[in-house]
Chains A and B, each alone.
Chain A
Amino acid sequence: DTAVSQTPKYLVTQMGNDKSIKCEQNLGHDTMYWYKQDSKKFLKIMFSYNNKELIINETVPNRFSPKSPDKAHLNLHINSLELGDSAVYFCASSQIGWGIEQFFGPGTRLTVL
């Protein structure tokens, strides 16, 4: 009965590779988010989709491309990985209008070598 799930939990890859992280929520929420937690532990929003429509797009390199095939899924694809992309990436979901609380997945720790 996992609410927000992410795969994989750990991802180790070489610089220059392309990788994807998947996120799924079974809460029936209409909005999903991607956050990045860097080495300094700051948790910063990257993207948000509401009913498959992009509504938040922060200053993120265009090597990062979110994709939402349906409102229960929000995947993050990263091209040409760089060392600075190493971080923990969290997916979250909420139902805007029901409340502001967001429910987070367990995170994906990405290490770029």
Chain B
Amino acid sequence: DQQVKQNSPSLSVQEGRISILNCDYTNSMFDYFLWYKKYPAEGPTFLISISSIKDKNEDGRFTVFLNKSAKHLSLHIVPSQPGDSAVYFCAASETGSSNTGKLIFGQGTTLQVKP
């Protein structure tokens, strides 16, 4: 029962263009969402997050959009750079009074940015 899904295993874009990575979730109790980036042989590194009270959060070239009614979020990278080539994981959490910090991860999307 995968509560967080990234249905595109891979994505290839040209340098300078926009990369759009998608994530869907099923648990309506999730109220905080994160994107992580992972290079081979390294641990995931935090990229950007969004609370369910917002529908957009921007940090430099990275923007995360949240559509609660569709239970969908997306990560936009613009412009894409070759150094962005990595695996991107979407994660979700249910915070609140019993917040344990538990994150549920999607299965990842491999982004390749071609020079």
Nearest CB on B from A85, distance (A): 19
Binding site for A on B (CB under 8 A): 32, 34, 36, 41-46, 49, 87, 89, 93, 95, 99-105, 107-108
Bound-state Cα–Cα, A101 to B95, Å: 12
State A44–B34 Cα separation when bound (angstroms): 15
Chain A interface (Cβ < 8 Å from any Cβ of B): 4, 31, 33, 40-45, 48, 50, 55-56, 90, 92, 94, 96, 99-107
Majority DSSP secondary structure for residues of A touching B: strand
C-alpha gap A50/B89 in the complex (Å): 24
Q: Is A43 touching B102 in the complex (CB atoms < 8 A)?
A: no
Q: Which residues of A contact B89 (CB under 8 A)?
A: 43
Verify A56–B100 contact, CB threshold 8 A: yes
Nearest 4 interchain pairs by C-beta: A104-B43, A43-B105, A101-B46, A96-B101
